Amino acid sequence: MFRLSGRTLGLVGFGNIARQVARRAAAFGMRILFADPFVEEGRDDVPGKKTEFVDLLARADFLSLHPPLTPETRKMIGDEALSRMKPTAFVINCSRGPVIDTDALVRALDARKIAGCALDTIDPEPLPDPHPLRGRENVIVTPHVAWYSEQALVGLQAGAPAEVRRVLMGEWPLNVVNRAVKGRSRAGL
């Protein structure tokens, strides 16, 4: 057991969920670093210092993954990224399974290049039985339900229709991934 205070949380991607994680981690006295090419430091008074991805890997005690799955992020956590991490570091994936190269993760765990991982999403999903990630004391795998609560389900069911309504009413949606399209909108949003 060790304390969280003074430890470094590295966030890959700094969208809505990662910013909420940063706020909560800061309350425990953690140092917050993030790497996201689309976000500037100091956004929305959220704690965190922007850094380069390679620096983030080397400094994080906990690496929490929050990027969207794109061709650029697919298997971004592979042999090279894992080899840059501290042997005492943990990887946490609540975004998309294919962001991690599962075979590279198994190799890193076997070679003790990292201390462990917590995976709410994996690739492949569901994780076959048997699989080298199963049955390890330093691996936690959950069935992609970390987001779930009765309240979250209600919010999810209401969120998408509310966004569609906003657009149909000529308003800009609240949850936009690519804000660069705002100026190019045909509807003048």
Tokens of 104: 């590279």
Residue 129 region, left (φ>0) first, then alpha (ψ -120 to 50), else beta? beta
Element (H, E) at 64: strand 62-65
- CA dist 67 and 69 (Å) reads 6
- pLDDT for 189 equals 44
What tens digit of pLDDT does each residue of 91-105 get? 999 999 999 999 999
Quick check: helix, strand or coil at residue 139?
A: strand
- With 80 as the cut, is the pLDDT of residue 183 above it? no
- pLDDT for 180 equals 65
* Pairing verdict, β 90-93 and 62-65: parallel
Name the residue among 141, 175, 181, 140 with its Cα closest to residue 158.
175
For residues 116 and 175, the model is more confident at 116
**What positions carry a catalytic annotation?**
96, 125, 144
What tens digit of pLDDT does each residue of 3-56 get? 899 999 999 999 889 999 999 999 999 999 999 998 877 666 788 999 999 999
Over the range 109-125, which residues count as b (16 or more CB within 10 Å of their CB) and which as e? beeebbbbbbbbbbbee
For the whole model, what pTM was predicted? 0.82
Name the residue among 30, 79, 74 with its Cα closest to residue 57.
79
Contact 55, 12 (CB under 8 A): no
Mean pLDDT of 128-153: 87
Q: For each of the domains in the chain, give its residue range(s) and CATH number, in order of start.
A: 8-141 (3.40.50.720), 150-184 (no CATH)
Neighbour tally for 96: CB within 10 Å: 20
Mean pLDDT of 141-154: 79
- With 60 as the cut, is the pLDDT of residue 184 above it? no
Name the residue among 141, 132, 142 with its Cα closest to residue 111.
132
- CA dist 88 and 68 (Å) reads 26
